[in-house]
Each structure stands twice: as C-alpha cells, then as structure tokens.
Structure 1
Amino acid sequence: MSTGQTRSDRKPAPVKMVTTDTGRILRISPEDESARAAVAAAATPAPQNIDPARRTDVLFRVRRAEGHELSSWWMVGAFVVTSGLVIALLSWVPYSA
C-alpha cells in the first residue's frame, strides 16, 4: 500500500541569510527574492555614523576601547557581596535557621 509520499533525491533550495541594519537575521530562499526587495524598500537607511552599541533600544551596552574591558573579578565580587547581603538579611528573619 502506498502512502502517497515519494522519496526525492533533490537537494533543498539554498537559503541565503541576510542581516538587516537593525540586527534582524532573515532567511531568504530563491522564491522569496521579490519579498526581499519589498523588505529592502521598507527598511529605512540608518545613518553611517551611529555606533550599534549605543542604540536607544539597547540598555547598558557600551563599546569600550581595547584594553579597557570590565574585569571579571567585578562580577565575582558582586556575587559575593550580594550573597553576603542576602544571608545577613535572612539572619534577621525569625525561625529561618
């Protein structure tokens, strides 16, 4: 009995990855080339002098110069201080020990 499905030796159509100015990644197949033109026409061109790390929709991201990266020890210290603060505050809660 046949299920109606046939096995094909065709390879899937190549998919092209396109990154827009806003950082969105789009998959474009050859059939969607007309849609790609519509997306490109709808996208507004971004000024060339804007740093993507300083966009208004990105919070707390700062691009620093080479050699001025944040040390990972700050994160370790923040974890230790936060843990100590939580333990100190929980010591004031009755019947928690």
Structure 2
Amino acid sequence: MPKTNHKYRRLVSRLPDQMKMLMELCGQDVVVVAHHAGSVGWSVDFQINTTDYQLQHDRGFLVVIKDPAGEAKVIGPMEGTWAGNSISGLAAAIAKDLA
C-alpha cells in the first residue's frame, strides 16, 4: 500500500475482514479510496494500478465491480456462482481482469 499517513492507516484498519483478505490475495498494490457502510451492507472503492474497482457486500453476497463510475461491469463472481463466492475466487477474477 503506497499511502502511509495516519488517516489512511486508520481507514485500512477499519475495513471489513473480507476486504483485508482480498488485498492480501491480489498480490498487487491495492489503494483503498473509500469505505461506505450501510444498514444491510457495505462497499469499498479501491484501485489496482489505475483501474477502479468496488467490492460490495449486500445481504451476505460479495460482488466485485470494475469501474463503478463508468461501465460498471461485474467481474466476480461469475453468473451462476453467487452462492459459492469466495474471497480467493474474487481475487482470481480480479487477476484475470488485470491480465
């Protein structure tokens, strides 16, 4: 993580465990842009290289969206695998998208 100031470290320390695991499994520098918490879910905006992503957790489901402000393409989990999505599967989907 390139940012090391106190405010950024505090933001990262307060992230959900799923996002922390995703950051470890990606194997690349992940920059957290924002964290949004709600009553039934949360989302984390982050960047890898110069690509924007968003991890959304809503009612027990995890979804990774590429470029949430633009085309908003769901890259993980793939259709039909919603119930069995895992952090490692989402990290693999991000790695495939970056390749």
TM class, shorter-length: under 0.3
- Which structure's residues are more often helix, by fraction? 1
TM-score, normalised relative to structure 1: 0.24
Tell me: higher relative CO, structure 1 or 2? Use CA pairs within 8 A at least 6 residues apart.
2
Q: TM-score, normalised by structure 2?
A: 0.24
